[in-house]
Structure 1
Amino acid sequence: MPPRPRTATPPRPARPLVVTADRELLDDLLRLAAAADTELQVAVDPAGARRDFAAAPLVLIGVDQAAAWAAANFPPRRDVVLLARDHSPAASLAAAVGASHVALLPDADHWLVARLGEPAPALPARRGRTVAVLGGRGGAGGSVLAAALAHTAAQSSLRTLLVDADPLGGGLDLLLGWEELDGLRWPELAAARGRVAAPALVRALPGRGGLSLLSWDRGVPATIPVEAMAAALDAGRRGRDLVVVDLPRHLPAAAAHALAAAERALVVVPAELRATAAAARVVAAAAVHQERIEAVVRGPAPGHLRALEVVTALGVPLAGTLRPEPGLAAALERGQPPTRHRRGPLATLCRQLLADLLGPSRSVAA
């Protein structure tokens, strides 16, 4: 059987985002959107809204989803409108969702038509790309691939931010041999208050050459607030060419936000039957937040399971395969970054993945 062609999901256009399960309210909004000559992106609950939240020029939250939205801990933003029909919601409910306006239908029909008809703000001319990496099971090698991707990009003169979003992982600073470098770690960023300028945040991180790292200290693992994750990703997109996020297999709110913000997600799967079964669960959970998920299948294959069989079982395209690399584990134990010598199967795979992600206009040096 020939390999399936890889298909890229085009990015969704920036449309106003509606979050409601109230059918009557949604019908009213669709009517108003038609009058404004625009289309809406619709989610029935906050979980379904995560992947469109950042790009939406306007977020409209039905009063039926307000409590769930407040509990979901989305990062604050402007242009959030709380919607209700017939009866005004309590001011405390509007504050809980961070709404800048409350619109009561049908009284606010004309105001909403005007807001829906406003053109979406132009995005900055230059923004870095974001890729998320997950392990299909424990020990699959997701963290190694994330670090290798970031290191390879930096070797190719791409300014890169590597984000360690797994509080229970071993720490990407250890994987890179950077545990002695000074700089901002997650606990400090999570405890910070107020907005930090993107260049200042990146400069405060540990780094060498063109690679900066946001990782953990050796203290008790902390929870990453969604606001802190959003600030880190925003800083990376504004100040770096590439952001690589190493995600845990279980997705708390901040990890789900990072996954939804990525242009692409890679799931590393060993070519084993049980690993494939475990990865199927990871893919199903990730698909709630990310449309473009691809698999990297890692050898060896003790039962001769082929990469094509693995991705067929997962229902995702094959991004690449990774052959065993003798000496890699020993080099990592000695604190040597992956792809340090730019040779071997891992370095070759990283150059291929980066070329696919960044496009032909950005060269990735061998």
Structure 2
Amino acid sequence: MPDLAAPLIATADELLLDDALRWCAAVGAVPDVAPDLTGTRRSWRRASAVIVGEDLAGDLARAALPRREHVLLLAREPSQWWPDAVALGAVAVCGPDEEDRILEALAAALDGRGEACLVSMVGGSGGVGASTLAVVLGLAAQRRGLRSLLFDADPLGGGLELLMGAERAEGLRWHDFDATHGRLSAGSLADVLPVHHGVSTLSWDRSSTTLLPAAVPSVLTAAVRGFDLVVADVPRHLDESGADIVGRSVLTVLVVAEDVCGVGAARHVLDRLQQMASSIVVVTVSRAGGIGPAAVSDALGLPVLARHRVDRRVRAAVDRGMGPGRSRAARRTATALLDTLGLEKA
């Protein structure tokens, strides 16, 4: 993660200052402290976030400082301070007892980026290659200069790390988050995950239990703040975690085989996806003598974004630990998805 400027605490109130210092320490930040208008004005623009104490709120509001993001007003009686908060452009007025809310706001500012593009890949039936396409999409994004994460949410799948040939890469796996509670820093998450061919992964150690930890929501929240693209491999049975991931995704890609059985299975998956997904597209997988993409589109009532042609060399490449990234057919499909998402070269 890129280094960000320190947060700024603007107050001369010792009790409010003690609280603010403690909150900054909790999110791993060392703040600048300004006890007056002059010091605040000096650091106002460059600070990653600003906590303004009620003792300086009036002076700062009258000073007409430039508008900026991530300003919090800290007051013992929050309801009395909204006029000054509006003048300062504060996103919230918080009392000293609203610690969780303040920590959330500080962490969001210090993560230094907005929400990533979260894409869910779901197989309409088994063996259609949704996991393979997820890996190739992550690799294609990396070639465009985007920070990408492969988020393995299918406990019964073969594992995205194995597909990439990244099982020996150093870093944390899902079982390392079993005891995680509360909010995670996006920067910290990005720093501790395995990286292979420039793409971060979060999957399972093959010797550990294949259960997703309770921390999945907080890990996903950190992930979408720490990367440009998060590609989630979601099981088609849509367990609780899978449903949450699909519900938060910008795009859900349903991968469907071009045959009658594949379409029949995909219909059942689609029925569930439509209850939670905001946007769904179909990628078909060609089959010799199959029904073709037009028939799949008619049967599912959705447009086909891309037709993926199976590259028989991918299986051998994966078995040799080389991953599927060299497949031209898979790269064409990934390119179509990235273009649809509007993810240009960084």
Query: Do the two structures share a fold, i.e. TM-score over 0.5?
Result: yes
Q: 1:133 aligns with which of 106, 112, 121?
A: 121
What is the CA deviation profile of residues 165-204 of structure 1, one whole-angstrom value per residue up to 9, with x for unaligned ones? 0111111111000111121111111332343211111211
Query: Which of 339, 342, 345 is the aligned partner of 1:358?
Result: 342
Aligned partner of 1:264: which letter? L
Is the Cα–Cα contact under 8 Å of residues 169 and 196 in structure 2 kept in the other structure? no
Give the corresponding residue for 1:315. Answer: 301
Deviations 1:198-230 (A, max 9, x none): 11112111013531100011135343245x222
| Distance (Å, rounded) in 2 between the aligned partners of 1:287 and 1:221 | 31
The equivalent of 1:146 in structure 2 is 134
Letter in 1 for 2:338: L
- By how many angstroms is 1:316 displaced? 1.8
What is the CA distance between 1:120 and its match in structure 2? 8.8
Aligned to 1:346: 330
CA–CA distance in 1 between the matches of 2:310 and 2:239? 32
Q: CA deviation at 1:242?
A: 0.4
Q: Give the Å deviation of 1:236.
A: 2.0
| Match of residue 170 from structure 1 | 158
Q: Unaligned 5+ residue runs, structure 2?
A: 1-89, 93-104
* C-alpha distance after superposition, 1:81-137 (max 9, x if no partner): xxxxxxxxxxxxxxxxxxxxxxxxxxxxxxxxxxxxxx9989976321110001111
- The DSSP-based 3-state class of the residue aligned with 2:118 is strand
Partner SS state of residue 218, structure 1? coil
Counterpart in the other structure of 1:224: 212
Q: Answer yes or no: is the 8 Å Cα contact 2:286–2:292 preserved in 1.
A: no
Q: Counterpart amino acid of 1:310?
A: V
Q: Measure the CA separation in 2 of the matches of 1:221 and 1:239.
A: 26
Report whether the alignment pairs 1:239 with 2:226: yes
Quick one: distance in 1 between partners of 2:310 and 2:229?
26
Q: 2:190 maps to what in 1?
A: 202
CA distance in 1, matches of 2:251, 2:143: 21
Give the conservation status (yes or no) of the 8 Å contact 2:314–2:323.
Answer: no
Instruction: Give RMSD over aligned pairs.
Output: 2.2
Residue equivalent to 2:49: none
Q: What TM-score do the two structures reach when normalised by structure 1? A: 0.62
The match for 2:317 is 331
Distance 1:156 1:285 in 2: 33
Q: Secondary structure at the match of 1:337?
A: coil
Measured in 1, the distance between the counterparts of 2:91 and 2:260 equals 47
Q: 2:181 aligns with which of 187, 193, 199?
A: 193
| Gap runs ≥5 in structure 1 | 1-118
CA-CA distance at 1:332 after TM superposition: 1.3
Matched residue SS, 2:321: coil
- Give the equivalent residue in structure 2 for 1:295: 282
SS of corresponding position for 1:336: coil
CA distance in 2 between counterparts of 1:128 and 1:217 reads 26
Shift of 1:234: 1.7
* Secondary structure of the corresponding residue to residue 266 of structure 1: strand
Distance 2:222 2:186 in 1: 4
Q: Contact between 2:119 and 2:231, CA under 8 Å: does it hold in 1? A: yes
Matches within 5 A, 1:46-65: none
Identity %: 36
Partner of 2:203: 215
- Does the 8 A contact of 1:270 with 1:301 survive in 2? no
Amino acid at match of 1:334: R
Question: Match of 1:191, SS?
Answer: coil
Q: Choose 1 or 2 for highest CA Rg.
A: 2
Q: Secondary structure at the match of 1:311?
A: helix
Equivalenced residues, count: 240
Report what 2:169 is aligned to: 181
